[in-house]
Structure 1
């Protein structure tokens, strides 16, 4: 039986965080064993393996949810890198990670208290209107919401690693009131080419803070407490909507409150191309802490 360590990623001052079972020595596991670990724990799980080409990458990560393999998982990547660092298994502060969705860079920073914080890279996002805008009311109904609950803005399919459907709502209270129908969500995601609904609302009390919820298409559970890949997609959607500027100030995406798991995801744009250029990508970060250890 592999050694599995569970961490919570994107925790906030109020607790929360998304649990991620991690196996830091997974080279002996086959696909069925990795899937079974995800099914047993009921969460997205991360598996650390040797890279296919050590000259190109420092390590390889694979990700499974209870129903299938995922090409990329932000919180499991952060959790795996943090866990490796906390175990003294990393000798560099920048890592190149092989994933099914491409190369991800991880950056570790030493904090004053001796702990290490982690950020990971995501490429520039693509943003497009959903292919069937006439499904707008059905999408809202699948979340238990009314047409008047949404802002008069188009719903967008945004992507850095996986397509998420951005649904701008009128207030955090409306967001919290959503009650998704998982079967309807899955059917509609299939029709519009999405891997999940990401309804969100601006926080009127704090600039560049947005509340969000993630209703995945077919992960095997109805909602995520924190979804880094969706938050990265949201950042580029906010640029498209004109709800955020492409500057150095970080965005805070608060997710999971309606689940009783208030979680904080930090996103900042990669402005290496210059202040006038479209962001070259973004960086995801957040707090990580141990949850439990299973043998």
Structure 2
């Protein structure tokens, strides 16, 4: 039986921007090897797989190379598909059981707000080869639950960064977040995210990174609400609210492709 698969651009209000994710709503749980094959075929930074479970859905995320423990943009895309395709009524909360616990999504007019765990960094020495591979001298290095976070001197330094991806793939880290205070009006901070070790050289807009960036910039700037911009080639805007051990991320989403997976 063919399965419907939907491609969504997340953290953007226009097609061909933000971060694309594929979303597949399954009639029952599927095997991880098959899901990994589909994710490799889709060749996007993440593919999300959902099946009904309890009062919500079981949600799993795969890059073309590995299953990951937390992915914000594919969660945003999954919630968007559930509402747009009629799996959930517009006034119902989307509830997801994941490897990072219960995550929820609520509609806020044209925006979707995710409730995710905070993963703020603690100061840490950089792993061998990191600074050389990134190609910039940071003013701060910290480690989050998943990644390393580097603060650099300026927004321009973030935007012009050209990492050595081959070298970065050899660094012991799922991903690298590089951030700076924003100089562009309307934004509080900017960032980029690199994860060649997980099969994604540069992720266009990374929800899970903002689970770390929110608490980090709360400590630096003394406020708990931000408008952030991820300065990849596609770019994307993320609203961030830090609420203790949780982070609320707001973003928009646009469907760009609907199709059928024939090799189901």
Superposition TM-score, scaled by structure 2 size: 0.88
2: CA distance, partners of 1:245 / 1:12: 29
Per-residue CA deviation, residues 258-284 of structure 1 (Å, 9 max, x unaligned), is: x2x0211111122xxxxxxxx231101
Question: Which residue of 2 is the match for residue 4 of structure 1?
Answer: 5
Residue 133 of structure 1 and its aligned partner are, at CA, apart by: 4.4
1: CA distance, partners of 2:239 / 2:253: 12
Say if 2:204 and 2:236, in contact at 8 Å, map to a contact too.
yes
Residue 78 of structure 2 aligns to a residue whose secondary structure is: helix
2: CA distance, partners of 1:134 / 1:21: 32
Question: Which residue of 2 is the match for residue 30 of structure 1?
Answer: 31
Say if 1:15 and 1:263, in contact at 8 Å, map to a contact too.
no
Q: Which has the higher strand share?
A: 2
Residue 167 of structure 1 and its aligned partner are, at CA, apart by: 0.8
Per-residue CA deviation, residues 149-205 of structure 1 (Å, 9 max, x unaligned), is: x33xx301124xxx22111111122112211222322322x1xxx321100111124
Residue 60 of structure 1 and its aligned partner are, at CA, apart by: 0.9
2: CA distance, partners of 1:102 / 1:2: 27
Tell me which of 198, 219, 222 is aligned to 1:245.
Answer: 222
Do structure 1's residue 156 and structure 2's residue 142 form an aligned pair? yes
Question: Which residue of 1 is the match for residue 135 of structure 2?
Answer: 144
Per-residue CA deviation, residues 199-235 of structure 1 (Å, 9 max, x unaligned), is: 0111124375211110015221210000000012111
Residue 68 of structure 1 and its aligned partner are, at CA, apart by: 1.2
Taking a change above 3 Å as real, the CA distance of residues 139 and 207 of structure 1, as seen in their structure-2 partners, is farther
Question: Which residue of 1 is the match for residue 169 of structure 2?
Answer: 186
Residue 251 of structure 1 aligns to a residue whose secondary structure is: strand
Per-residue CA deviation, residues 10-42 of structure 1 (Å, 9 max, x unaligned), is: 015796210000002252532222111211121
Tell me which of 242, 245, 249 is aligned to 1:280.
Answer: 245
Which 5+ residue runs of structure 1 have no aligned equivalent?
Answer: 271-278
Alignment of 1:206-245 (within 5 A): 206=185, 209-240=188-219, 242=220, 244-245=221-222
Question: Which residue of 2 is the match for residue 167 of structure 1?
Answer: 150
Residue 213 of structure 1 aligns to a residue whose secondary structure is: strand
Which 5+ residue runs of structure 2 have no aligned equivalent?
Answer: none
Say if 2:120 and 2:213, in contact at 8 Å, map to a contact too.
no
Do structure 1's residue 128 and structure 2's residue 119 form an aligned pair? no
Question: Which residue of 1 is the match for residue 111 of structure 2?
Answer: 117
1: CA distance, partners of 2:23 / 2:210: 21
Question: Which residue of 1 is the match for residue 63 of structure 2?
Answer: 65
What RMSD, in angstroms, separates the aligned Cα atoms of the two structures? 2.2
Say if 1:158 and 1:234, in contact at 8 Å, map to a contact too.
no
**How many residues get paired?**
257
Say if 1:12 and 1:263, in contact at 8 Å, map to a contact too.
no
User: Which structure 1 residue ranges, 4+ long, deviate > 6 Å from structure 2?
Assistant: none
Say if 1:21 and 1:46, in contact at 8 Å, map to a contact too.
yes
2: CA distance, partners of 1:206 / 1:158: 28
Question: Which residue of 2 is the match for residue 77 of structure 1?
Answer: 75
Superposition TM-score, scaled by structure 1 size: 0.79
